[in-house]
């Protein structure tokens, strides 16, 4: 499969999982967390599907399209291994949804990062909340959820945080 086809399948899976997650968190209060702003496409989509929720975005630096950059109150800049552990007071409540798209394409590096941040993400999540991610996380209280029919297993991941 070409890299272009792989990219299209990944972002289509991302969109379909986020659209599904919207329904899965409809009854869960709390903000949305976007881990990895990148160029801002996913943040822009989250603003569209969650117009009434606060969305807090994490990244090392801002390099997004100018129309897709959160205001200063909602943009958390720095090393995610440091910022996640100090942000609960800032976001004001446990999160209903966390979207984690921070994979580097390097398997070992991803595994180290996930092992470090997974417990931090878990601490920020409301019971019943959803973690939608490009990488597989192994947290005891996260229960894998069925994916949209359009998404092949292993392409994207949905987990519900148990009480």
Give tens-digit pLDDT for 5-20: 988 999 999 999 999 9
Instruction: Categorize the per-residue pLDDT at 139 as very low, low, confident or very high, splitting at 50, 70 and 90.
Output: very high
**pTM of the predicted model, to two decimals?**
0.95
Cα angle 80, 13, 118; round to 5: 30
Mean pLDDT of 99-125: 89
Indicate the burial class of 49 (C-beta count within 10 angstroms; 0-12, 13-18, 19 or more). middle
Tokens of 136: 């597989």
Identify which of 87, 91, 127, 96 has the alpha carbon closest to the alpha carbon of residue 30: 96
DSSP β-bridge partners for residue 157: 133
Instruction: Categorize the per-residue pLDDT at 107 as very low, low, confident or very high, splitting at 50, 70 and 90.
Output: confident
CB-CB contact of 30 with 56 (8 Å): no
Mean pLDDT of 13-39: 97
pLDDT of residue 40 exceeding 90, the answer is yes
Instruction: Categorize the per-residue pLDDT at 119 as very low, low, confident or very high, splitting at 50, 70 and 90.
Output: very high
Residue 105's pLDDT is 73
Residue 161's pLDDT is 98
Buried b (16+ CB within 10 A) or exposed e, 79-104: ebeebbeebeeebeebbbbbbbbbbe
Residue 163's pLDDT is 85
pLDDT of residue 98 exceeding 80, the answer is yes
Say which CATH number the domain at 25 has. Answer: 3.40.50.150
How many domains are contained in the chain? 1
CA dist., res. 92 & res. 40, Å (int): 23
Q: Which range marks the domain in which residue 145 is found?
A: 3-161
Q: What is the mean pLDDT of the chain?
A: 94
Residue 106's pLDDT is 82
């Amino acid at each position: 499969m070409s890299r272009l086809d792989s990219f299209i399948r990944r972002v289509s899976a991302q969109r379909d999982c986020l659209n599904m997650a919207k329904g899965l968190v409809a009854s869960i209060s709390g903000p949305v967390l976007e881990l990895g702003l990148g160029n801002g496409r996913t943040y822009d989509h989250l603003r569209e599907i969650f117009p009434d929720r606060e969305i807090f975005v994490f990244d090392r630096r801002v390099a997004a399209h100018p129309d897709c950059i959160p205001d200063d109150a909602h943009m958390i800049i720095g090393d995610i291994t440091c910022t996640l552990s100090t942000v609960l007071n800032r976001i004001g409540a446990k999160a209903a949804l966390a979207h984690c798209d921070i994979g580097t394409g390097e398997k070992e590096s991803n595994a180290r990062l996930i092992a470090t941040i997974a417990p931090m993400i878990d601490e920020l999540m409301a019971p019943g909340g959803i973690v939608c991610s490009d990488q597989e996380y192994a947290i005891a209280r996260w229960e894998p959820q069925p994916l949209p029919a359009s998404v092949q297993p292993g392409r994207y991941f949905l987990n519900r945080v148990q009480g």
